[in-house]
Structure 1
Amino acid sequence: MPLTQDACPVWPCDDPDRDAFIAQVRMQGARLYRDLPWRNLDDPYAVLVSEIMLQQTQVARVGRFWERFLARFPTLDALASAGTADVLEMWQGLGYNRRALALKKTADVCAAERGGTLPDTAEELQALPGIGPATAAGVVAFAFNRPSLYLETNVRTVFLHELYPDCEGVSDKQLVPLVADTCPPDDARAWYYALLDYGAHLKTQVANPSRRSAHYTRQSAFEGSRRQKRAELVRVVLAAPGITADELAVRLDEFERAGARDGVDAVIFDSIVADLVSEGFFRRDGDVFLP
């Protein structure tokens, strides 16, 4: 029977001990090294774009989007100068369009207040739109190669697999001091990439250890969801600027029925559209919608 959280060990552990754990991660990281396009960069903006794109999106899908996005918006100033519609257009296919809006807002703030540069501390980064603790720590570690507390799903997977193999409901409160303690002062970048490479591999070999985290939640189905309807409405308005409300409703209804789902009633349609307008995805001008 799996141990409860209270019965699980806390660092330091006897098996493996701290040094053995670090050696294991470094060995596996070297063996499983992934040659990713955003790896070993010292451009904080490029790293930030990769970290935001990788949120809830598989690495294999992110590569081409990251390269295309940076080719179009190579700097924070370039992104700040772009229109929201152009940014959303370049984001299409990645999903979670809120990430694109938050990234654009961050660029706007940095262009207006920081001379087009990102701050270099986790605290200052978290004050920007859409940047949470893990994203901020990732920028500090990967762009500035400084110690940070980077706890995301693959990192969590390694700690749970190696240190808590028989535990259920392990909290991040337990993991945080371990992550902080093992991050080296001189090469945080290489250390966290070793954790990421090893964690990604573990997910293909064993039952995902991150499911034993107290914070694990299964992602809700996308098909038929409100999130999918939102994404389709954004796509249609970007592709057909000036579309009327009635036509937009028809297009969404057709999209749902093509997926063998019921059509969308007026109340749901109006609610989703109102949310998208208020969040800045597109605007309403009389009876038409514009990017």
Structure 2
Amino acid sequence: MNISTVKIAEFKKTVGEYYQVNKRRLPWRETTDPYAIVVSEIMLQQTQVKRVLEKYPAFLMRFPDFSALAQASLKDVLQEWQGMGYNRRGKYLKQIAEIVTSQFQGVLPASPEIVDSFPGIGRATACSICAFAFNQSTVFIETNIRRVFIHHFFKDEQEIADEQLMPLVEAALDKENPREWYYALMDYGTYLAKVVENPNKRSRHYAVQSRFEGSDRQIRGEILRALLSSTRSRESILLSYNGQSERVARILDQMIGEGIVRENEGNVEI
């Protein structure tokens, strides 16, 4: 898709003018500490900003740096993560902290390629971390950025692939201050979500999140909360879900396989 430099300039002006007036004050934007940025980006992967705002300060207070998080028990980390959902992310954060402290002397490498190799971090998150922590001119797409570019440049198209958006994201990138530009894009995307029908529905990558009530995610969360209180026998866990023992056994085995919990002689613990 060929877009003129004039159209790109007009687009950047629209985004910039909105941001000047409506810039959000968020705690992870008040720092360039790589550790704090990693924590915020992992939290924001699958959790709404409002919820992250509630959990982020307490998590940083309890685990203020990579070393503190690496040395903490998984149980303590998951206890602090409670309420965020997708608890594997808490485990991934601890694993990342262990890697950074053991292999990089506690200093996050300023390389998207290296960060991309860490547990629970894909290419987009690796690039966002390096943009926000190191002001690098990385190119990435997340939900709000996707919404902005589809809305402005693909008004009449369906099944739009991210591969079609990436050249535009790169063309519009403010290479002198990519950190602030991405903040502006995300804030503008949040605004668009309130005033237009979601452009992301026209993305090839759009998927409606499955209902939480009655889902495997709900059961995983309930099992984890129970185990944060005390060790439980496998039998007692299965009995607490009358009529769903096969399903719960499968979920429990998944959690064991992921290293979220462990089983020893029929007893399950974190």
Category of TM-score, reference length = shorter chain: over 0.9
Deviations 1:123-142 (A, max 9, x none): 11101111111111111111
Equivalent residue, structure 1, for 2:71: 81
1:284 Cα offset (Å): 1.2
Equivalent residue, structure 1, for 2:212: 222
Determine helix, strand or coil for the equivalent of 2:164: helix
Q: Is the 8 A contact 2:144 2:185 kept in 1?
A: yes
Deviations 1:195-214 (A, max 9, x none): 00000111111111111111
Aligned-partner Cα distance in 1 for 2:69–2:10: 44
1:11 Cα offset (Å): 3.2
Aligned-partner Cα distance in 1 for 2:243–2:123: 37
The answer to whether residue 231 in structure 2 is matched with residue 242 in structure 1 is yes
Determine helix, strand or coil for the equivalent of 1:207: coil
The answer to whether residue 56 in structure 2 is matched with residue 56 in structure 1 is no
Q: Is the 8 A contact 2:139 2:170 kept in 1?
A: yes
Equivalent residue, structure 2, for 1:258: none
1:247 Cα offset (Å): 2.1
Aligned-partner Cα distance in 2 for 1:244–1:171: 47
Determine helix, strand or coil for the equivalent of 1:41: coil
1:264 Cα offset (Å): 4.3
Specify every segment of 5 or more residues in structure 2 that has no aligned partner in the other structure, as ranges: none
The answer to whether residue 261 in structure 2 is matched with residue 282 in structure 1 is yes
Determine which of 231, 236, 251 is the counterpart of 1:272: 251
Aligned-partner Cα distance in 2 for 1:236–1:229: 11
TM-score, with length taken from structure 2: 0.96
Deviations 1:96-127 (A, max 9, x none): 01111111111111111111121111111101
Determine helix, strand or coil for the equivalent of 2:108: coil
Deviations 1:172-231 (A, max 9, x none): 111001111211221001100000000011111111111111111111111111111111
Equivalent residue, structure 2, for 1:6: none
Q: Is the 8 A contact 1:13 1:163 kept in 2?
A: no
Q: Is the 8 A contact 2:233 2:266 kept in 1?
A: yes
- Return the letter of the residue paired with 1:250: L
The 5 A counterparts of 1:46-195 are 46-195=36-185
Aligned-residue CA RMSD (Å): 1.4
1:13 Cα offset (Å): 4.5
- Return the letter of the residue paired with 1:199: G
Q: Is the 8 A contact 1:145 1:187 kept in 2?
A: yes
Specify every segment of 5 or more residues in structure 1 that has no aligned partner in the other structure, as ranges: 1-9, 254-262
Equivalent residue, structure 1, for 2:2: 11
- Return the letter of the residue paired with 1:267: E
How many residue pairs match? The answer is 270
- Return the letter of the residue paired with 1:208: N
1:30 Cα offset (Å): 1.7
1:145 Cα offset (Å): 1.1
Determine helix, strand or coil for the equivalent of 2:263: strand
- Return the letter of the residue paired with 1:89: Q
Equivalent residue, structure 1, for 2:199: 209
Q: 1:57 to 1:264 in 2, by over 3 A?
A: farther
